[in-house]
């Protein structure tokens, strides 16, 4: 009989694509930063920036980074929101409630916070 312990790996808690909904009273400026991809010679950093009107919603599709012989699925690292009053807020990975690899996770911007909500459906 085997007396040793079995050690498993934790499920990755990553967001590759998302929907961002603005439920605040004003428009906001959103900056989405991806986890840097490192190679032997360089570091590739990517971000997406956009205005999101009051009541607006946008979908960020998952993106792949081509490494020649293989592709890497980019991982969302930070969502940063600039409010009309100049206040900057951010939410960083690992995001609340994410317990697996997510391709369309819902984030809601309200008047006070950026909320990691659920799988978008």
pLDDT for 58: 97
Q: Can you give the pLDDT of all 121 residues of the chain as single tens digits?
A: 555 666 667 778 999 999 999 999 999 999 999 998 887 778 878 899 999 999 999 999 998 877 777 788 899 999 999 999 999 999 999 999 999 999 999 999 999 999 999 876 5
Cα distance between residue 102 and residue 28, in whole Å:
24
* 108 and 57 Cβ atoms separated by less than 8 Å: no
Cα distance between residue 45 and residue 47, in whole Å:
7
Which pTM was predicted?
Answer: 0.85
| Sequence-separated (6 or more) residues with CB below 8 Å from residue 90 | 78, 79, 80, 81, 114
Top CATH class, 14-119 = mainly beta
Domain range annotation of the chain: 14-119
């Amino acid at each position: 009989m085997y007396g040793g312990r079995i050690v498993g790996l934790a499920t990755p808690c990553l967001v590759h694509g998302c929907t961002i909904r603005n439920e605040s009273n004003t428009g906001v400026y959103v900056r989405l930063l991806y986890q840097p991809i490192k190679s032997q010679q360089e570091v590739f950093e990517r971000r997406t920036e956009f205005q999101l009107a009051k009541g607006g919603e946008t979908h960020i599709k998952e993106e792949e980074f081509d490494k020649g012989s293989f592709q890497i699925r980019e991982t969302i690292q930070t969502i940063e929101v600039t409010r009309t009053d100049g206040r900057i807020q951010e939410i960083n990975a690992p995001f609340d409630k994410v317990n697996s690899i997510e391709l369309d996770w819902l984030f809601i911007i309200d008047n006070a916070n950026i909320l990691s909500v659920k799988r978008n459906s």
